[in-house]
Amino acid sequence: MINLKSQILNLKSPKLRLLFLAALILGIGACAVPQETQKNKLAEDLKTAQQSNSTLTLNKVTLEQANEKGETFWKVNSQNAVYSKDQKIVNVQKPVGKLFQDGKEIYDIQGETGQVFQEGNQVFLKGNIVATDLKNGVVLRGNELEWRPKEDVLVVRNNLTGENKQVTASAKEARVFSRAKRMELFGSVVANVKDPILQLRTEHLVWFVEQQKVNSDKPTQIDRYKDKIVTDSGFSDQVDVDLKTKIATLTKNAQLMPSDPPLQIESSLMSWNFPAQSVVSPGPVKVFHRVEKVTMTGDTGRGDLQKKVFYLTGNVVGIGEKRQAQLNTDRVTWYLTNQTFDAEGNVVYKQLNPVFNLTGPRAAGELKNQTVIVKGDGSGGQVVTEFVPDEYKGTLGQ
């Protein structure tokens, strides 16, 4: 068998090598025909097909392609193959094979039908595609597969799904770049992370399988689940999720909406730590309590969602919509369970009914019910109370 394959290889074009199994075209009684006769007959058939515009049908065939260095690009076994000189392609049935990069096997592939191009620059399979990454265990399924080895890209499309031990995903198309060690998913992408239980929805997702990271440069929504119920939702124009540290970074128009406490957190950049149930924004941040209608803004912010506490620093402004109260300070600790706060540094408190202003170094209270105590700091810091006459009512905050 090995000798037979070797002889057949010498008969083919260097761009496309066809390896045929024993008793390929000789039919019943082929085992009784001398091996030399088989090789001579096969040589004549191939020569005839190549010199004319006719086709040649072969059974149990192996097609193999190598580059100029002799490194294998791909190898495909087929139950049935039709060679057509004018189209410079080989049509194959029930193809099963391997894809190579730099001489090493990288993917197992299979499908229902396929085409192998004689120029050696493309393999195309259709129907019930299964492509398995031999290094990281990712399995891709779809209805079309295209391998372009010179471009180092494997494309699987049409009802695409992909999975490994960390992520399952669906999309319209996947492009795998083996040397760059990344996979790009395009069109109606839905990626489900197994730990923590997340779902990402976007139009373009890049999956760095070995680095255990996924990111997107398109608007993305992240839902976190517990007992099959969404507990928190995040949105941003750009997302990076580190599956190892279990931290998501939301960039540009970032928004996080936890259900408990019922907040809406907005910033241009925030880090969402799933195990710690915390969120950190190194830049300007706005936190809105959706039930109590209280808003806090600051230059930076940090929230402990498990303890239900939010810390804001720098130019902090708090507004209670129900009572038209406003707090300005340098730093604030907001206790979300009972809606109280502690403020430190340059505290200014204003309210409409009754209208008055309070200033001092420290304050504690509750914005939603206008219960605020402004305190001195014990080192000379004074508390000033300013009552506003009736004719100035309505000018609060101007």
User: What integer pLDDT is reported at residue 53 of this predicted model?
Assistant: 54
The C-alpha atoms of residue 222 and residue 191 are separated, in whole angstroms, by 9
Q: Name the 3-class secondary structure at 42.
A: helix
This prediction has a pTM of 0.81
Is-contact 96 77, C-beta < 8 A?
Answer: yes
Is-contact 123 116, C-beta < 8 A?
Answer: yes
Single out the residue of 133, 162, 159 nearest to residue 144, CA to CA: 159
User: What integer pLDDT is reported at residue 20 of this predicted model?
Assistant: 41
Q: Map tokens 């039709």 to a residue.
A: 82
The full DSSP string for 129-154 is: EEEEETTT--EEEEEEEEEEGGGTEE
Residue 185 host element (H or E): strand 182-193
Half-sphere exposure for 354 (CA within 13 Å, toward CB): 8
Is-contact 318 296, C-beta < 8 A?
Answer: yes
User: What integer pLDDT is reported at residue 73 of this predicted model?
Assistant: 82
Single out the residue of 314, 341, 317 nearest to residue 330, CA to CA: 314
User: What integer pLDDT is reported at residue 121 of this predicted model?
Assistant: 73
Is-contact 365 320, C-beta < 8 A?
Answer: no
User: What integer pLDDT is reported at residue 9 of this predicted model?
Assistant: 33
Is-contact 311 300, C-beta < 8 A?
Answer: no
User: What integer pLDDT is reported at residue 170 of this predicted model?
Assistant: 97
Strand partners, 89: 84, 117
The C-alpha atoms of residue 120 and residue 140 are separated, in whole angstroms, by 23
Is-contact 343 362, C-beta < 8 A?
Answer: yes
* Residues in the chain with pLDDT values less than 50: 1-15, 18-35, 38-39, 41-43, 46, 383-398
Single out the residue of 175, 207, 169, 166 nearest to residue 188, CA to CA: 169
Show the tokens assigned to 380: 């000379």
